[in-house]
Amino acid sequence: MTPVPDPGALVTELAGGSVRALARGLTWIEDGGPRAENLIERVYPQTGRAHVIGITGSPGSGKSTLVRALARAARARGKTVGVIAVDPTSPYSGGAILGDRIRMNDLALDPGVFIRSMATRGALGGLSRAAADAIDLMDAAGRDPIFVETVGVGQDEVEIASAAHSVVVVSVPGLGDDVQAIKAGVLEIADVHVVNKADREGADRTIADLRNMLMLAPMREGARMPPVLACVAAREEGIDALWDALAAHLDELKATGELERRRARIAHKRVLGIAHEVLARAVADPARGDTGPLLARVARRELSPHAAARALLATLPAATR
Amino acid sequence: MTPVPDPGALVTELAGGSVRALARGLTWIEDGGPRAENLIERVYPQTGRAHVIGITGSPGSGKSTLVRALARAARARGKTVGVIAVDPTSPYSGGAILGDRIRMNDLALDPGVFIRSMATRGALGGLSRAAADAIDLMDAAGRDPIFVETVGVGQDEVEIASAAHSVVVVSVPGLGDDVQAIKAGVLEIADVHVVNKADREGADRTIADLRNMLMLAPMREGARMPPVLACVAAREEGIDALWDALAAHLDELKATGELERRRARIAHKRVLGIAHEVLARAVADPARGDTGPLLARVARRELSPHAAARALLATLPAATR
């Protein structure tokens, strides 16, 4: 049996870039609880160095292949890479995630590319929290860039993508109106658009459609129009241009002060997410005797949900201290 | 100009079943804020009577047509119906919702069927809260049953469906493995499975596949296997059997005490959701001078997110009082 290292030793190994320490730390993170919290508390001062890049897009758009190609581009530039693949649509770690692992396999022997799949455990909030913690751990281990790949383009993905400094939205030619309608939800979070599988029929049309949508979309003040790039990730075509676009985006974030604003926004969402978790735990805590009767009164329609929420919040600090 | 009625008058009109009062109240609910909260506070004691039925399933499975057929079945039995159609995948109220409205149109002249579409405004939490409030309002206005139709079958839908007493999951023959994989996420929330468009080729196979999945799925203790029914909603075939299955499910909920447990669970989630909203508002409140500096310290890596969350919660009651 391997002895469990104390967090201090793990933190030291992490800072040295140990792949084994990273793997173990990520398992702690996934399990959650005080051990995970303690670990993040310790590594947090060493974070904030990596460029965190979110990759999202419809199922079948080839996100995993694209991430693999980007990871190779990063390796060719002497960088060590972290990849976090999250699947908020499935409560089970199932087929899609396994598929990702298999497709990622040709990178599995390179310790310079560390890939971790995460599926929902319980609420989405838990996954967002775990993904943010995993980014910190990879960051503390010197991984840069860190790719966060999410499945699908619903509200969940927007949530998780919001932990990234740069967001790449991947499209493919020839998907129907359904996908275009969904896309409205992620238009405003995209920093770079990529049309993958651009050797397929209809690629020019998809690129033109995207550019038209971007022209009509409401823009953040002072924001520039996101570039729309074409690539064929499976043949590694267009990857250098995408790499350059991401590097240019990071430069722009730094030059305009937007990087600091994004960091502040990420901190805001993360702190609030943790506060929500603490609150949910306190309410579910059986040692807290007042919650059950309070909720029973709501179920019996004797007390409104709003009044009960206020009552819970008012007594919270005593319960969490 | 119509004068704005005071909440008291609106509550009285609602209790009398006024369609106009219901429409106005739902607009208040969608706008949120103290007016919505006050309204729910007042109507809440009159709620808890309706059978709330969640309808979820993949896009294209014909949920809207099914809900329309069920609404007609309810009308034939002398009941007045409420329908809430929510789309958590789109931050904009767009095509899909409009499509629903048009398909629902043949019921538009019947005041006994009240249909309301809701799209995401800001966070998903806001939509869950608004949907729960809308259910209360329809309940107080004597609508029974109330159908809550959600688009897609991701984590968001599971969240919203959890506000219902009975959950119907709609499938269609001939969708690929992708959909089967997604379905894993909703298997455990389904009380009744419906295979719609059952006149299509492959319907028998889809029904058999579903039954096999259910046999293999982990079951709640004491739970019975959910029935798998076939229907062709567009021709109103199989709707009476579905209606009977839903009535039987409600009887079972009552007989086993599960209805009370579900009500308690719904109250728990709802109170927690409202507490989260109060917390998010307090953190975003510019009048609260300590939040900005605290979050800036997190962004600068001087303070961990967990420590900041605890600090926020500890000072919360003073800020919300």
Nearest CB to B272; choose among A48, A89, A283: A283
Class of the domain covering B48-256:
alpha beta
Measure in Å the smallest separation between the Cα of A231 and chain B Cα atoms: 24
Per-residue confidence (pLDDT) for residue B305, from 0 to 100:
93
Q: Which two tokens stand for residue B166?
A: 């009975």
* Each residue's pLDDT tens digit, B4-62: 557 889 999 999 999 999 999 999 998 888 899 999 999 999 999 999 999 988 778 88
Residue A121 pLDDT: 55
Q: DSSP per residue over B168-189, as a string? A: EEEE-TT--HHHHHHHHHHHTT
| Chain A residues in contact with B37 (beta carbon < 8 A) | 306
Comparing alpha-carbon positions, the chain A residue that sits nearest to B90 is A185
Q: Which helix (H) or strand (E) holds B117?
A: strand B113-119
Which one of A295, A302, A320, A321 makes the best mutation probe of the B interface by having the most chain B beta carbons within 10 Å? A295
Question: What residues of chain A lie within 8 A of the CB of B184, using their CB?
Answer: 90-92, 94
Tell me whether residues B275 and A272 touch, CB distance under 8 A. no
Q: Which of A157, A306, A315, A320 to mutate to test the interface with B (most CBs of B within 10 A)?
A: A306
Cα A301 off chain centre by: 40
Collect all residues with Cβ–Cβ distance below 8 Å to B170 and sequence separation of at least 6: B55, B56, B57, B58, B61, B62, B63, B66, B194, B195, B196
**What class is the A47-256 domain?**
alpha beta
Q: Do A313 and B270 touch (CB under 8 A)?
A: no
Least confident stretch, A219-223, B92-96, B152-156: B92-96
B297/chain A closest Cα distance in angstroms: 9
Per-residue exposure over A165-179, b if at least 16 CB sit within 10 Å of its own CB, e if not: bbbbbbbbbebeeeb
The CA distance from B216 to the nearest CA of chain A, in Å, is 14
For chain A, 321 residues long, the average pLDDT of each consecutive 10-residue run is 68 94 92 89 94 88 92 96 77 38 59 85 66 94 94 64 89 65 65 94 89 77 84 96 97 94 89 86 77 87 91 68 43
* Whole-prediction pTM: 0.73
Domain boundaries, chain B: 48-256, 270-320
CA separation for the pair A107, A90 (Å, rounded): 25
ipTM surpassing 0.95, yes or no? no
